[in-house]
Amino acid sequence: MAAETASADIPARAMRGETMTRRMFRQARSMRGFQIGLGIFLVLLLAAVVLPEATSLSVTKISVKERFLPPFFLEGGSLAHLAGTDQLGRDLLMRSLIGLRNALGISAASVILMFVLGAGLGIISGYWGRWVDTILMRFTDAQLSVPLIVLAITILGVTRPNFGTIIAVLVLSGWPIYARVARSVTLAERQREYVRGAKILGASDIRVMLVMIAPNVLPPIAFVAVLDVARMMIFEALFGFIGIGVQPPTPTFGNIIADGTKYIVNYWWIPTMPGLLLIVALLSINMMGSALERARNKIFAGI
């Protein structure tokens, strides 16, 4: 009888995490903040992907005659260069959009890898426990004790910074958070009857972790992952600003702003325009993340 009860409970419990995740996203989509944030983000993403390829403006072409052109709304500005030009006559809007594209690519790849690595190790640690849990959590604590900027200077300072090395640094610094959250959820879920029932029915540990526990790990950290995209964008810009990010001539927010600080007194738009674009992108992502968090809290409060 116990086995039959456990067997009946398995499908419902195994799908509980996926159902909660769908409910969370569905409820968040109805919130005004999420809609506004998503709309702004999609517009920026589309512009970053399409405009640099569709326009005739070159992000690397040097034009002495067009140096230090102000934005179109200032005297001397031109509609041909909406955000103005930099000290080499390059279009700031196109360079900023490519910087946004690079930042989003690095951030999204970093968050995906952090999620997979951290959640995987957290589930293994929480499910198997004992010496496996002790070793993995001590390793996690050791990783958490290393500041990101120290790790970045150590790795990027002795290698040539590129997309791969920057992603590796961000993943190394961020996966412990996901591991901690996944472990705490797994510790609670492994005591549930549906896990015991699955074992009685002969399910392997791998199947239990992947099919039944992993879906329940997603809701608590889905909004964290969305917010982490914005956080990784800030760090990517910081690396470029201090000279250990992707190197010129590849445009990034960090190196564009860093170059523009030399001219900020007389030509303030060079560092300001890419900075404003970065702020708008971060605000849109944070609006979506906040909506997901509110939706999650409402769902958990109703359980």
Cα 29 to chain centroid distance, Å, stands at 19
Residue 4 has pLDDT above 90, yes or no: no
Task: Say how far apart CA 39 and CA 42 lie, in whole Å.
Answer: 5
Mind listing the pLDDT tens digit for each residue in 216-234?
788 778 878 888 999 999 9
Task: Say how far apart CA 3 and CA 118 lie, in whole Å.
Answer: 33
Give the DSSP letter of residue 87: T
Classify residue 118 by burial, with Cβ atoms within 10 Å: 0-12, 13-18, 19+: buried
Task: Say how far apart CA 195 and CA 17 lie, in whole Å.
Answer: 14
Thinking of the domain 2-51+85-302, which architecture would CATH place it in? Orthogonal Bundle (1.10)
- CB count in 10 Å sphere of residue 63: 14
Q: Given CA atoms 143, 148, 150, 152 in this order, what sign does their dihedral have? A: positive
Q: Given CA atoms 277, 96, 255, 153 in this order, what sign does their dihedral have? A: positive
Which of the pair, 75 or 10, is modelled with greater confidence? 75
Mind listing the pLDDT tens digit for each residue in 134-165?
999 999 988 888 888 888 888 888 888 889 99
Whole-model pTM: value is 0.85
Domain ranges (residues) in the chain = 2-51+85-302
- Tokens for 98, please give them: 């490519």
Q: Which residues pair with 240 in a beta bridge?
A: none
Q: Which residues pair with 91 in a beta bridge?
A: 85
